Structure formats: C-alpha cells, structure tokens
Amino acid sequence: MKTFCGRANPTTGALDWVEESEEYDYHQEIARSCYADMLHDKDRNEKYYQGIRAAVSRVKARGERVVVLDIGTGTGLLSMMAVTAGADYCYAIEVFKPMATAATCIVERNGFSDKIKVINKHSTEVTVGPDGDMQERANILVTELFDTELIGEGALPSYEHAHMHLVQADCEAVPHRATVYAQLVESDMLWKWSQLQPIEVDGNKLLPPPAVVKCAGAPSVCDIQLSQVPPESFTPLGPICTMFRVDFSKQVSSAAQSYTAQFKAQTSGRAQVVLSWWDIDMDPDGSIVCTMTPSWNYSDPHTYPWRDHWMQSVYFLPAEKNVSEGEELNLIGSHDDYSLWYGLTQNLKMATFRPCCTCQAHLVWTRPRFGELNDEQRTESYVNALRSILKPDSVCLSVSDGSLLPIFAHLLGSKKVRSFISCSQVLHTNSLKHGVQLLGIRPEQLSLADLEGNQISVLMGEPYFSTSLLPWHSLFFWYCRTAVAQLLHPSATILPRAATLYIVAVEFRDLWRIRAPCGTCEGFDVSPMDEMIQRSLDYRESLEAEPHPLWEYPCHALTKPRPVLTFDFTQCVPEQPVNSDGTVRGRCHGVALWMEYQLTEDITVSMGLTKPVSEEGACEWNPHRKQGVFFFRSARETSGDGREDLSYNLTFEPHTGDIKMDFSITEP
C-alpha cells in the first residue's frame, strides 16, 4: 500500500507531498545501515569468534549443555559462530523485522536451521518456558549492542533484563567486560566546536553572548574518527584514565552512576575537552581484546583496524578551566542508561550534573557550525567581500540561518540591515540590537512595506541552512533570491553571486567498505544480507549521493576536480533543467561532490577541497561542512589501472531542487 507523505524540501523550502511505499522507511534504514561495515571489520569478527570459542569450551568443560542467547543478532553471524564452536542450541534475537528475515535466510543457507532459532522481538519481550520463545535459560550470552558511546543503544537495560529473565546466574558473556577510557586535553581546534569565540571585524571585537559562554552545551556526544585529529592539535593535560568497567557476565545495573579518576596535571593549560573511547575483553583473562583506541595510541599505527560503526567520542567540559602542572584533578565520568558526560572538579564532594543547553545556541547550531563561525580565514573572506560591495546607504537583506553576516554588514557601515534569521543574543551583547532589524516572516511574505519602501541593494547569504544535508541543499538561497526578486534594486548586488558544483573521482582508503558487498564473512555465507541491502538501494537510494564529512575519511583523488554545474544567483531560478555531462579518466570507488561559492569577482570560498589536490592525489577537506559521496554499485578494494572512463550526467531540476546524477564506468 502507498500513502502520501508530507516532507519539507531542504532546497526549495516547500512542503512536498510525495507518494511513498509503506516500506520506504525500512528501505532507508537498511540502505544507510552499517551492517556491511561491521561485517568488513575483520578485527571485530575474529575477536568475537575467539571469545565465543573460548566461552563454549569453558561451559563444555563444566559438563553442561551449551545454550546461547544472541541479543541483536543482525545477520546471525555470532550465532553461527557459536554453533560452529560446539554450542548445542542458539536463540538469536533481532527486533528489526527485515534484518530478522535476512538472518533467518542466512541461517538456512548455511545449514544451521536445526540449531538456531531467530526470534523477531525486542529482548525484553522474549519469554522463557515450555510455551515460550526460549525453552530454557541460556548459559552463554553473546551480544553486540554497542555504539560509539558504548551504552547509547540501550546496552545496559538490555543486559539488566537478560540477567534477570533470560540467562542463568553463572552464565558466560561474550564480550566478558567493557572498559571506558578518558583523557583530559586542551585543544583550540576542538574547543572551537563548543563555544562561539570573539571575532574581529574591521577593528571591532564582536563578543559572544555570556549565556552561550556559560552554557554547558548540548548533552549529545560528538562522535568522530579521532584518528584523523592530528596529535599536534591537542595537548594532553593528564594521562589516559580508566573511568569505569562493566562486567557483562554478572548482573548489570542501568541506574545512573558516577566514577572519578584522580591524577596530577601533566602540564599547565586550559582544560577544555575530554577524549573518550572503550575496549571490550572477550574473555575473563583479558587475553582477547577489541579496542577502539585511536590510531595514534597504537604502537604501530599501520596495524590500526579501521571501523566506522564504532568511533571515538569527544565531550566538551561545561566551561574551560585553567590548570597548573602538578595540580590534583578529579575527572568525573557519569552515565545514565543511555549516555555519558564528564566534569572536572578540584573537590570530590562537588556533584556533576548532566549538561543541558540553556542558551539555545547549542540546539540550533551543530558542533561543526560552531567551528565554521569560529573559522578566522572564512570570516576574513566574507568581511573582505562585504567591504568591497557595501556603502553607507546600502539596503541589506541577509538570507541564512543563524548567520553573523548582517552584523558584519552593520559593523562595516551599512545603516539599513535586515535579516530573516539572526543571532539576537549576539546583537544584544554587543549593543547592536538597533543595527539589524529581524524579520519574523518567510522570504515570499516580504513586502516593500517591511523594507520601509526601500528596494534591496545587497542580498547576502553564506549560504548556510540548518536543514541542509547535501551540498546543493544550500541552493535554498537561490529560491529565496527568486522569491524577493521584485524587491531587488535593478543594480542590486547578490552575495554570493554564483555557486559551482564540483566533482572529483576518488579512491577511499577505507570508506568504500560501507558499501562493498560482503559475500562471505569468517567462512559464513552472508550474501542474503548483500541482496537485501542492494534491494533497498535499488528502491531509490542507489541513485542518490549521501553526506559524509570527508575530512574524517582519507581518500585519493584519481582525477582533477571538475566544475560540472554553475548556478547564477544574479538571475532567478530558471524554469528549465540545467544539465551537464562529460567524461573523465580513472577507475574509483565513487565520486565526491561539493559546492564552491563565488562571493565576488575575486573571492571564492569552498565547502569541499580547501587546497589544490597534490601531485600524489592527496585531498584536504573542509571540516565544517559535509560533502556528497556517490558510491558506485560495486565498490572496489583496489583502484585498478586507471584506464577506464568515468562518464557522468548531472541534471538540476528547478521544480524539485534535486540534482539527478548518473555515473558509469566504461572501458574506452
């Protein structure tokens, strides 16, 4: 059955009513899942297999029949490992119905149907007894319920319930325990993602609102590939601390708890950020360890196992604190049933509370957006561009979410500045609330009366919109420009004056794994999962690019960056589609796409590559915006000989704001 769904269009700003299948959300979930990434994580798979074999051997040595409970089975991989290791029976629980169906198919294909029962329920709904889902309690508990924060997927409540209702008191657990680590650091790079900092504009210092400075920030974790954060960009103020451990073989509590690590500051500095990760011991002796530690903490970084389903966490302290070398410090790590947070005190009796945003800015701006607003080079580009076009009598209108551009325009001398959305707190803090008029309407509702009878002489935008995911979603600026076209002065200046979509064919070092078929994993045929994912991709997603912060995912450019579509903001959105096609040379995993904005004739800012591609193909990406990635249908582990032609056809559809893209690789 199909139904009409209302969806906000991030490019046009309109509410689109589209006909969708009732399975659409399932297809999206499957297509954008990390199942393939997990199965390509050889280190994870091998450690689980070793731990399961050891647990089965320990139970058999006690003369017991081995009954395994696998919570969150996914493909059924861990259950098949358990049966292969000698388990007598396995109950595999999977709450996501499409995945449970795939697991049943995989179990059948591998010949384990008589030993593995797939149960499509949440583990807390599973019953035990003669007429229940499980005939008896299990004596081995196998799970993979972890996320980057360890407990964010509800691991603690699931374990708590399982020990109370589904497993025996002396059960073996794989993994056996988890350990959470943390390190206190000073990092200007990371701290810029937490707080709005003072900004110099034409001799004026724009100060951040006290409410923002004092705010503890949003409680959500910032999960990133910490291995891509250069060690020279932060200074450790203390050692790597063991914050707490969870023993999964015993009764687990999901109640809120706090733990303290005491240490002396290794050096003087500003305590700003806590870096955190975890590892899991697959056996009681701790001889089989799967660790999430960053690559720069490895003795040999080249042996670092890349994974994207588990990364590392960055936590921002509620406020930075100056610490002195040798000072006694107490790092407090706290958690509830789903999340972690950190605090720093000199007094153990002081309580640390779960951070909560009170200034609203941390709820409106993402962490990368804070970093973008604090980017001095970017600010300089916009200020120089505005300085070159503004006059004292300019009538300015700003179209961007939470932008500081209208404040910049006022500080540069413009007396009439209006903005649809701006940071009123910044205006108030800097006594500029009369310098910028905030409009509480949409662009299409704007009238000449709202402008006091004056036509717009400068229309400006970054462009940045909180609803944008893909680079071309920022073309919403173009639709806003078109909506106010009748209010523009004939000689009005548009900033940016144009945008260009660029592409480059790339070979990823690791990111290709999230789209590569698995085939077999540790000797088991998991191709039904490949087929399920491909069906969901074929539903629609395989024809679309997806957003990724490429600074976290090293890649090698196999072609020169090429401009493929240019959007002229000095003109209205055209009625007819804009098309571009061509051919470049190079076999690759996919194509990276990004926007560059031409602010003035000689000032351009890039949302993608921040430097020219090196002779060796090395890429340096903008860390504040996500780029688009179009993955080819069958990602390759190697790039081949590069003699193939990459053909492309891209079409901008004005009525929908979409960019339809078609890429193909052919031999010349």
| Active site residue ranges | 144, 153
Using DSSP bridges, classify how beta strands 89-93 and 562-568 pair: parallel, antiparallel or unpaired: unpaired
Phi/psi for 217 (5° steps) reads: 90, 175
For 220-254, letters b (16+ CB in 10 Å) and e give: bbbbbbbbbbeeeebbbbbebbebbebebbeebeb
Tokens found for residue 67:
């009954």
Q: What is the DSSP letter of 34?
A: S
Measured distance CA(516)–CA(425) in Å, rounded: 47
- Find out whether 583 and 368 touch, Cβ atoms under 8 Å: no
Q: Where does residue 504 rank: exposed (0-12), middle (13-18), buried (19+ CB within 10 A)?
A: buried
Tokens found for residue 655:
């009525």
CB neighbour list of residue 210: distance below 8 Å, 6 or more residues apart: 429
Dihedral (CA of 298, 187, 268, 182) sign: negative
Tokens found for residue 581:
């096609």
Radius of gyration of the chain (CA): 27
Measured distance CA(277)–CA(313) in Å, rounded: 6
Q: How many CB atoms lie within 10 A of CB 4?
A: 8
- Find out whether 68 and 302 touch, Cβ atoms under 8 Å: no
Measured distance CA(340)–CA(152) in Å, rounded: 8
- Find out whether 478 and 467 touch, Cβ atoms under 8 Å: no
Measured between its terminal Cα atoms, the distance across the chain in Å is 45
Measured distance CA(603)–CA(398) in Å, rounded: 19
Q: Which amino acid is at 586?
A: G
Measured distance CA(291)–CA(524) in Å, rounded: 24
Q: Where does residue 169 rank: exposed (0-12), middle (13-18), buried (19+ CB within 10 A)?
A: exposed
Cα–Cα distances in Å, from 575 out to 104, 447, 598? 50, 24, 23
Using DSSP bridges, classify how beta strands 562-568 and 498-508 pair: parallel, antiparallel or unpaired: antiparallel
Tokens 């583990």, located at residue: 123
Measured distance CA(73)–CA(351) in Å, rounded: 39
Q: Where does residue 315 rank: exposed (0-12), middle (13-18), buried (19+ CB within 10 A)?
A: buried
Phi/psi for 457 (5° steps) reads: -100, -20
Measured distance CA(666)–CA(149) in Å, rounded: 43
Cα diameter, the chain: 90
Which neighbouring-strand residues pair with 93?
71, 119
Tokens 């085939």, located at residue: 519
